[in-house]
Amino acid sequence: MVENERLRQELRHCEAELQELRAQPAAPCVGCEHSQESTQLRDKLSQLQLEVAENKGMLSELNLEVQQKTDRLAEVELRLKDCLAEKAQEEERLSRRLRDSHETIASLRAQSPPVKYVIKTVEVESSKTKQALSESQARNQHLQEQVAMQRQVLKEMEQQLQSSHQLTVQLRAQIAMYEAELERAHGQMLEEMQSLEEDKNRAIEEAFARAQVEMKAVHENLAGVRTNLLTLQPALRTLTNDYNGLKRQVRGFPMLLQEALRNVKAEIGQAIEEANSNNQELLRKYRRELQLRKKCHNELVRLKGNIRVIARVRPVTKEDGEGPEATNAVSFDPDDDSIIHLLHKGKPVSFELDKVFSPWASQQDVFQEVQALITSCIDGFNVCIFAYGQTGAGKTYTMEGTPENPGINQRALQLLFSEVQEKASDWQYTMTVSAAEIYNEVLRDLLGKDPQEKLEIRLCPDGSGQLYVPGLTEFQVQSVDDINKVFEFGHTNRTTEFTNLNEHSSRSHALLIVTVRGVDCSTGLRTTGKLNLVDLAGSERVGKSGAEGSRLREAQHINKSLSALGDVIAALRSRQGHVPFRNSKLTYLLQDSLSGDSKTLMVVQVSPVEKNTSETLYSLKFAERVRSVELGPSSRRTELGSWSSQEHLEWEPACQTLQSARAHSAPSSGTNSRPGSIRRKLQPSGRSRPVPV
């Protein structure tokens, strides 16, 4: 209805306008685009009229100028006439004077004989007459001069007259030119005015025609609107019906919504219940899988042996020098990565270990091999990783590495962190780090306030048989950053304490002890695993080369502790009832990490160059012996053939052939032994590597 009313008003308005237009056909139509055009044309016309007025002004100016010039010309002509009259007068006067002069001359000439005579007479008779003669001669001269002057003046006057004639001609030509120009401008102006008049008439006609056409269109529109109006009314009626229907629906909507919400809530509740029971099922499965994984992992480690020995050959470095001493004496088996060949004094010796890393192996490659051991620490196992070998063979490189390429220590802690985080939903873990050093059988805390303080190893007073070190600093670490700070601190302590750290570190054992304590959130089960990372002192036999004093003492201590390590491993291997852990600080400290179901990995570092082959041979023999040892549950321990603790000291330093190596390394008996595959290779009928029980 509103629309209807609006259209009606518009119609009335249009009709009023139409009548107005009819009443004043000449009046400009309001709001019509032609009125704008007509205004433009009118503007243009007034502009043109303005221009015409301007042109007229210009024309009158030109007329004025012409008038002025004509006046000046008349003036000049007047002056010329005056000049001519003056000139005629002058001429008259001059000709008169000329005539007089001629007459005088003629009269004088006519009187000349008596004068001459008189002159003669005067010459003879009178000076008076003489004087009169000279005077008349002078006068005659003067008159002649005057005549010449008058002639000159006359000539000048004639020239002046001529030039004023020329000027007059020029001025006349100019006047004619101006008049022609004036005529042309006038004609042009008339033409322009004519064309403007025509333009104006045409524009007015066009505007009128367009206005008429538009008027017609408006009429047509009006008729269209009228018909629209007629069709809109039924549409409006249906819309009103629709609206009423919708209104009724909206009134019923809250009830519908509540109903739907109730249904959805019930469905969601059911789905959550289902998801919960699914989750419980999954959790149960996950826990079972975890147990299985742990079991498998343990089984794997057990199958691999509780003591594993790997060798890592470092590359030849600049420090090895040049010449025959620095040539490479180590080679590998392309088909078996557990074999290493050494050329010692011209004779080849071969060893089999659990794995041999060539000089091209990266820190990551080595870490990959020890990764499983490290993660077992989270499951509550104690783990020891030793780096063994002569000074300069790469022990510190393997354990600590460089800042750009870190070794096992750093990588192990990073791995432990990420594993612990992964299990954070079920387990709560705390990790602590201690760093200690054993030098000349004295244990020192590298993270303590006083690194000089000697620490003692004691039995726990709780009667558990566990050992502990009173006063050993334990840092709780929560991130890799914390570990870096701990390392930094330990390193600074060591550097400030010892002037030649390199020298000192090769004479001492450095230990990094990581303890991982975990609580299972759901069962409350507690586990404690210890990871001992040991960079051992250099294994070279200094004592034999006649060292003295403190050097000899150092060598004896190192020898003793490494022998003790060998003894302990031998006792463990042979399942002896008594394991001599207390023979050295190192073995005593690591007692609970070496016994029982603990896992041990020995990385034997090897220098590849010729000059070190004796020490290399010695290291590899030690490695092969250690490898033959099995750790196991005490219940399975049986008394078997023992490996003399003296063996470590008594090994032949000189070259040993494969045969003799075999003799040393082959365990005397027992199903737990793992004879090397070299032996198998050399004895074709040999059995395959037995699985430890």
Closer to ligand ADP by CB, 391 or 563: give it.
391
Strand partners, 332: 340
Stretch that binds ligand ADP, among 49-57, 235-243, 313-321, 375-383 (CB under 6 A): 313-321
Among 375, 376, 396, 672, binds ligand ADP (CB under 6 A): 396
Among 306, 506, 561, 587, binds ligand ADP (CB under 6 A): 506
Q: Which residue is nearest to Mg ion (CB)?
A: 396
Reading the block at residue 140, the tokens are 């005659």
Binding mask 588-617 for ligand ADP (x = CB under 6 A): -----------------x------------
What's the closest the beta carbon of residue 535 comes to Mg ion, in angstroms? 6
Other Cβ atoms closer than 10 A to 538: 23
Q: Determine, following the binding rule CB under 5 A, whether residue 584 of this chain makes contact with Mg ion.
A: no
Strand partners, 310: 355, 603
| CA gap 339, 679 in Å, rounded | 11
What's the closest the beta carbon of residue 361 comes to Mg ion, in angstroms? 18
Among 140, 317, 371, 414, binds ligand ADP (CB under 6 A): 317
Find the radius of gyration of the CA atoms of the chain. Answer: 68
Q: Determine, following the binding rule CB under 5 A, whether residue 338 of this chain makes contact with Mg ion.
A: no
Q: Cβ contacts of residue 35 below 8 Å, gap of 6+? A: 28, 29, 207
Q: Determine, following the binding rule CB under 5 A, whether residue 563 of this chain makes contact with Mg ion.
A: no
Among 389, 490, 529, 675, binds ligand ADP (CB under 6 A): 389
Residue 217's alpha-carbon distances to 23, 211, 220, 511, in angstroms, are 19, 10, 5, 104
DSSP letter for each residue of 235-256 = HHHHHHHHHHHHHHHHHHHHHH
Residue 66's alpha-carbon distances to 52, 72, 175, 430, in angstroms, are 21, 10, 7, 120
Question: What secondary structure letter does DSSP report for 406?
Answer: B
Q: Determine, following the binding rule CB under 6 A, whether residue 375 of this chain makes contact with ligand ADP.
A: no
Stretch that binds ligand ADP, among 194-202, 389-397, 463-471, 673-681 (CB under 6 A): 389-397
Count of positions on this chain that bind ligand ADP (CB under 6 A): 13
- Coil, helix or strand at residue 350: strand
Stretch that binds ligand ADP, among 183-191, 395-403, 437-445, 672-680 (CB under 6 A): 395-403
Among 34, 308, 344, 395, binds ligand ADP (CB under 6 A): 395
Closer to ligand ADP by CB, 384 or 570: give it.
384
Residue 389 interaction partner, one of ligand ADP, Mg ion, none, beta carbon < 5-8 Å per kind: ligand ADP
Residue 627 interaction partner, one of ligand ADP, Mg ion, none, beta carbon < 5-8 Å per kind: none
- Coil, helix or strand at residue 535: strand
Stretch that binds ligand ADP, among 22-30, 223-231, 310-318, 669-677 (CB under 6 A): 310-318
What's the closest the beta carbon of residue 605 comes to ligand ADP, in angstroms? 5
Place of tokens 């919708």: 246
- Is 533:409 a contact under the CB 8 Å cutoff? yes
Stretch that binds Mg ion, among 202-210, 394-402, 483-491, 619-627 (CB under 5 A): 394-402
What's the closest the beta carbon of residue 439 comes to ligand ADP, in angstroms? 15
Question: What secondary structure letter does DSSP report for 402?
Answer: -
DSSP letter for each residue of 473-489 = --EEE-SHHHHHHHHHH
347-352 β-sheet, strand order: 330-333, 336-344, 347-352
Place of tokens 């602590």: 432
| CA gap 582, 588 in Å, rounded | 5
Among 396, 434, 591, 600, binds Mg ion (CB under 5 A): 396
What's the closest the beta carbon of residue 528 comes to ligand ADP, in angstroms? 30
What's the closest the beta carbon of residue 395 comes to Mg ion, in angstroms? 5
Q: Can you point out the beta strands (E) in 253-391?
A: 307-313, 330-333, 336-344, 347-352, 355-357, 383-388
Q: Determine, following the binding rule CB under 6 A, whether residue 150 of this chain makes contact with ligand ADP.
A: no
Residue 585 interaction partner, one of ligand ADP, Mg ion, none, beta carbon < 5-8 Å per kind: none
What's the closest the beta carbon of residue 276 comes to Mg ion, in angstroms? 56
Helix axes 480-497, 408-422, angle to 10 degrees: 150
Question: What secondary structure letter does DSSP report for 609?
Answer: B
Residues making up the chain, counted from first to last: 693
Residue 315's alpha-carbon distances to 175, 336, 608, 685, in angstroms, are 118, 20, 7, 37
Among 351, 386, 397, 581, binds ligand ADP (CB under 6 A): 397
Q: Determine, following the binding rule CB under 6 A, whether residue 315 of this chain makes contact with ligand ADP.
A: yes
Residue 674 interaction partner, one of Mg ion, ligand ADP, none, beta carbon < 5-8 Å per kind: none
What's the closest the beta carbon of residue 418 comes to ligand ADP, in angstroms? 25
Stretch that binds Mg ion, among 11-19, 30-38, 261-269, 387-395 (CB under 5 A): 387-395
- Is 415:375 a contact under the CB 8 Å cutoff? yes
Q: Determine, following the binding rule CB under 5 A, whether residue 390 of this chain makes contact with Mg ion.
A: no
| CA gap 376, 346 in Å, rounded | 43
Angle, CA of 296, 302 and 303, to the nearest 5°: 90
Binding mask 556-595 for ligand ADP (x = CB under 6 A): ----------------------------------------
Q: Provide the binding-site residues for ligand ADP, judged by CB under 6 A.
A: 314-315, 317, 389, 391-397, 506, 605
Q: Provide the binding-site residues for Mg ion, judged by CB under 5 A.
A: 395-396
